[in-house]
Amino acid sequence: MNSPTIYKIKGMHCASCSVIIENTLKKVDGVQSVEVNFGTENTKIIFDENKTNLEDFNKKLETLGYSLAVKDNHSNILQNDKMLGMSAEEMGMSEDEHRAHLGISQSKQEKLIEIKDMKKKVITAIPLAVISIFTMGWEIFSRYNIVPEMGSGMEKFLLYALPIMATYILFIVGKSYLIGFYRFLRYGKANMDTLIGIGTSVAYVYSMIIVIFAKSLTSFVNVEQTYFDVTIIVITFIALGKYLEARSKLKTGDAIEKLLNLQAKTALIIRGGKEVEISVGQVVRGDLIIIKPGAKIPVDGILTEGHSYVDESMITGEPMPVSKEASDTVVAGTINTSGSFTFKATKVGSETMLAHIIKMVEEAQGSKAPIQALADKISGVFVPIVLVISFVTLVLWIVIGTQYFGFSQALSFGLVSFVGVLVIACPCALGLATPTAIIVGVGKGAREGILVKDAATLEKLHKVNVVVVDKTGTLTKGKPELIDIKILSDLEEQEFISILASLENKSEHPIASAILDFAKVEALQVLTVENFISIKGRGLKGIIGNTEYFIGSIGLIKDLKLSFDTAQLSEFTLEGKTPVVLMTKEKVLGFVTVADAVKPEAIEAVKNLHKLGIKIVMLTGDNKNTANYIAKQIGLTTQAGIDEVVAEVLPEDKLKKIKELQAQGLIVAMAGDGVNDAPALAQADVGIAMATGTDVAIESSGITLLHGDISKLVKAIKLSKITMRGIKQNLFWAFIYNIVGIPLAAGIFYPIFGWLLSPVFAGFAMAMSSVSVVSNSLRIKGKRL
């Protein structure tokens, strides 16, 4: 199976263009599938490289006015310096020039040049449109005696000026629309440019014929009625709308650019015992990198020396800097706030988490949501249907209208309606409704530490009514912590823990790390231990000072034949805690309990999921006591906690439970972090992985929550609901606009209400429809999750 290749599309101006490109490429021999995204202006093609290539695609498309270019792979850009082996300084370039040389933001630069050209045309067209509007307004107001009739000198001036102005507007500003008309005549492919081109050309040609042959046509038509102003104003409005739309669309995809800007440009490394500053692209795995206060971390790695606080907000969305010390991991793009440290590079270039995030965001923004399918189908037949409606409208006005208004007036109404229908009908608003909202939604998610794999996942998530969560690592921290301290002797707490930690320091048991971590946080002294012995299956012993101490469980207490009421330990074991008892040969000195603690944010997250009307099911391989205790801590009530607890399950049982819930007609999301969660994550309607978990879990999921923060699950669902609400609003207005606009422009309401829409207003409405859709999508950025 060939892997998909993403290309940038040039020359695509509307949703119908995307359909034309898609249908054309599908006919190329060797192409297996094509997916064109109007919002991102990209196409994803799966094809047999032995049968076809980019050159073949462009041969088919260039005659229609389109072309494909290899798209910047931003995740690979992060290591391009390495391929070139030269820094900006070595190449004698500024950093901006160097980035341009490597292809970073190349597509954006091209877009900015295109927008600059559009702006120039709009600036030259607006004064001419203002003159035309002034002239049109004067004529209308003079009919109602609001203003005096225009003087003959002014009329004569406009008689010559308007054709010249219209010629400039049509052939210079509206050149792309004329080309669209020409390609329709030659190749039979119609898009939005075709509609505008036909409408404005007909208005222009008809008006020019009237001006040139006025005397000959006086007895047939009203020679005082020309439509140069329609050509001028309609093209100006549409050009202005396209300019505003292009500017707004550029803002929808700024998440990628912001992520790219997180990348450090240089790294301070130790080579040959010396500190050397090199380009980040020259960093290799195993390099020791020095990070000073305020510096960006250039690649992923593990701390080897030092201590500091790192601001990871740009990657995880967490506002508080995170403490880092030896053996902790750091990721590229984060910022060191205070202190200096050295770390060993483990992932560089496209391997880093930042590159992975950029790749996921790009792929998700370029994917299509199922809700877009209807809009795509309509866009595919929209232009031909509108062409038919416009010509039928013209014919009906002339045939039927002549009986009531006479030929001259009927022709005038017919032309106005013909041009109005062509101008007002635009598939762009429909085509932009879904992709622009997806682009903004996915980008906002990335900034909040929520990575969405594709648009379909984002759409499904808003329908979820059951969330199944794995316990370990999802609701709990996934590692043992010291929970309770119970002293049964005259020892002080600090001395008691110090003895425990000193003995556990020699142990390899997983529980030992919980006690040692607690002692470290409390800055307690680790004492010297002599004659340390591990008692297999029971615990350990050692001498501190002149006293022999024992650490173990109930079994060791019995072996030492100590008098102790073990019932108080049973109370803790029922809660899923593991007691660790400190004793001498004579008596029990006290005990601590160790357990996998609930994440602080888990309680609030579960509560907020309930507020969204979502049922929560906890699945775990742990015993029932532990599972029920964790559920109790979170709040075992249908109002605020876990609704159902399923304990002692195997991976296949988790899968079975997901299927069981789906069989009840429920939409299920599964949140987990381990290899044993992968089958259930894949089966769930939406799989949600914790980024602190395994790669298998992340690959099996549609959404990844960075930092393993369960509270982000609530944000992800809210983001999905906000995005889908935006898409539905966009589609509603796009459909309503066309459903109402086309009949109004065709003159259907004229016999009843006397309403006939001027092509000028049709042009303005058409231009603003796309702008309003993009602007509505941009509102998602400002929504609070």
Catalytic residue positions, numbered: 470
Helix (H) or strand (E) holding 266: strand 266-271
Query: Which of 709, 681, 716, 713 lies closest to 697, judged by CA?
Result: 681
**What secondary structure letter does DSSP report for 87?**
-
- Strand pairing of 578-583 and 539-544? unpaired
Helix orientation angle between 407-424 and 759-778, rounded to the nearest 10 degrees: 10
CA angle 121/122/124 to nearest 5° reads 65
Rounded Cα–Cα distance for residues 734 and 143 (Å): 35
Instruction: Looking at 148-219, list the stretches that DSSP marks H as alpha helix, in order from N- to C-terminal side.
Output: 152-168, 175-187, 192-212, 214-217
Tokens of residue 710, six digits: 């369960």
Tokens of residue 475, six digits: 């609701």
Helix (H) or strand (E) holding 34: strand 31-37
- At residue 545, the 3 state secondary structure works out as coil
- At residue 490, the 3 state secondary structure works out as coil
Q: How many CA atoms within 13 Å lie on the side-chain side of 525?
A: 5
Q: Using CB atoms within 10 A of its CB, is residue 442 exposed (0-12), middle (13-18) or buried (19+)?
A: buried
On whether the CB atoms of residues 392 and 743 are closer than 8 A, the answer is: no
Beta bridge partners of 705: 450, 690
Beta bridge partners of 690: 705
Rounded Cα–Cα distance for residues 80 and 283 (Å): 12
Q: Using CB atoms within 10 A of its CB, is residue 438 exposed (0-12), middle (13-18) or buried (19+)?
A: buried
Query: Residue type at 490?
Result: D
Rounded Cα–Cα distance for residues 672 and 470 (Å): 5
Q: Using CB atoms within 10 A of its CB, is residue 696 exposed (0-12), middle (13-18) or buried (19+)?
A: middle
Rounded Cα–Cα distance for residues 427 and 180 (Å): 15
Instruction: Looking at 78-105, list the stretches that DSSP marks H as alpha helix, in order from N- to C-terminal side.
Output: 80-84, 95-102
> Distance of CA 110 to CAs 45, 100, 113, 631, Å?
22, 11, 5, 55
On whether the CB atoms of residues 603 and 502 are closer than 8 A, the answer is: no
Please state the length of the chain: 785
On whether the CB atoms of residues 622 and 471 are closer than 8 A, the answer is: yes
Buried b (16+ CB within 10 A) or exposed e, 272-290: eeeeeebbbbbbeeebbbb
Provide the Cα torsion 776, 778, 783, 785; round to 10°. Answer: 120
Residue 98 backbone dihedrals phi, psi, to 5 degrees: -65, -45
Instruction: Looking at 367-465, list the stretches that DSSP marks H as alpha helix, in order from N- to C-terminal side.
Output: 372-405, 407-424, 428-447, 455-461
